[in-house]
Amino acid sequence: MKHKEGLLAKIVSRQAVVGIAGMGYVGLPLAVAFAQAGFRVIGVDVDEDKVEELNRGHSYVEDVPDEVLRPLITNKQLHASTDYAALAQADAISICVPTPLQKTKDPDVSYIISAADSIAQQGNTGKLIVLESTTYPGTTDEVILPRLLGNGGQVGHDFFLAFSPERIDPGRTDYTIRTTPKVIGGVTAACLEVAVTLYGMIVDQPVPVSSTATAEMVKLLENTFRAVNVGLVNEVALMCNKLGLNVWEVVEAATTKPYGFMPFYPGPGLGGHCIPVDPHYLSWKLKTLNYTARFIELAAEVNSHMPDHVVSKVADALNEGYKAIKGSHILILGVAYKPNVGDVRESPALDIIHLLKERGARLDYHDPYVPYLHHESFDMQSADLNDELLQTADCVVIVTDHASCDWAQVAAQARVIVDTRNALKGMGGRGRVVSL
């Protein structure tokens, strides 16, 4: 077990070099956490622009301020490269590349495969490799391990392999990498020991589990739990719409029960890199075993149709004023998938804008975190939010409730508002407010 003991000694003494494959919303905060803990960190990303920005000390991730990143770059504690050959000197490598869905809703693990192949080319003897990218149960053992075994050597003896799902929540400040418990599963007991030791240097509570597949399933359960419950409350919103009830009042009153109820809130649809995507990984895996994940698929159906519901609410609101969507000036407030971040991945705003454009609307949007919005069917620039813009819009649609937005101004100036986030709760104004 000389490789294990040698690697453990390097980790504990902080002499180990840590590599991060993928320097996005997950990889960059992780790299910073290791660098701040005293490790030398090498980040690799195929995006040349990202690498150039990082090496200039400029962060493109809101959770990592420039003033935090810059001294790590200046002191050579953290360096970025586009070349996987840079990871040849790494003792531990975390894979944090994207795992999107294909248009057929099947998992796209091509980024994982590419990263694993590139890492294997640099040699893996004496190294720990950890997959953090969310994926279906069995990926680490069935996809990553065979590629590393191609170099020869025995897992758990000559090299070490684990899965530890990321728990990054962009924009969140109450829980950090340090204070968020981290689930870890190893291919062997030795793999688990090394991985727990490594992550124990940057997190307060490592949570070891019995296998990589268990750790993979934990991540999918976490995000499926949220997707299914959001699907439930979105369906309740549709029911309340039919019944003439206010869904926000219903949820708020139900929340007063001190046990047996956990509040989830409706919205215009699910967005982000996890919640709309990850449950499909589990559903796909179960289909290969001739099992239908009915809750997941039903929740996905409800959530994916919420943008259509929002557009219907816009149409109804305009009809009240004898207007059609076609030719109307509609202002979208917020296009990021969640408040106070600039991430538009899977944002329901994209579908809402597309549907409104299809129906002939004249559109503007305002989002202080997203100055430009590039999509396959449109290219737009954020407009300045002022009284004139609000007053001239035939309908204002609140899609993302950024804290920096002056909601009192919106309520005071807009004529017709479709509020999908309850952002104007309790506010009076000149216009008519339509709830979700």
Q: How far is it, in rounded angstroms, from Cα 369 to Cα 351?
A: 19
Q: How far is it, in rounded angstroms, from Cα 210 to Cα 185?
A: 6
192 contacts: CB under 8 Å, gap ≥ 6: 162, 184, 185, 186, 208
185 backbone dihedrals φ, ψ, rounded to 5°: -125, 135
Tokens 């504690």 correspond to what residue?
A: 77
User: What does the DSSP assignment read for 22-67?
Assistant: --STTHHHHHHHHHHTT-EEEEE-S-HHHHHHHHTT---STTS-HH
Q: Give residue 290's region: left, alpha or beta (phi > 0; psi -120 to 50).
A: left
The closest of 18, 44, 218 to 118, measured between CA atoms, is: 44
* Of 96, 191, 240, 274, catalytic: 274
Question: DSSP 3-state helix, strand, coil percentages of the chain (rounded to 5)?
Answer: 40, 15, 45
The closest of 180, 186, 123 to 149, measured between CA atoms, is: 123
Q: Are 300 and 231 in contact (CB under 8 A)?
A: yes
Tokens of 195: 């991985």
Instruction: Classify 78 as helix, strand or coil.
Output: strand
Residue 190: how many CB atoms within 10 A of its CB? 18
DSSP annotation of 141: I
Q: Are 142 and 112 in contact (CB under 8 A)?
A: no
Provide the sign of the torsion angle of the four alpha carbons 10, 14, 16, 22, taken in this order: positive
The closest of 324, 410, 332, 406 to 375, measured between CA atoms, is: 332
Residue type, 171: G
Q: Is 274 a catalytic residue?
A: yes
Q: How far is it, in rounded angstroms, from Cα 94 to Cα 27?
A: 8
CA distances from 288 to 100, 106, 107, 264 (A): 19, 11, 12, 31
Residue numbers annotated as active site: 274
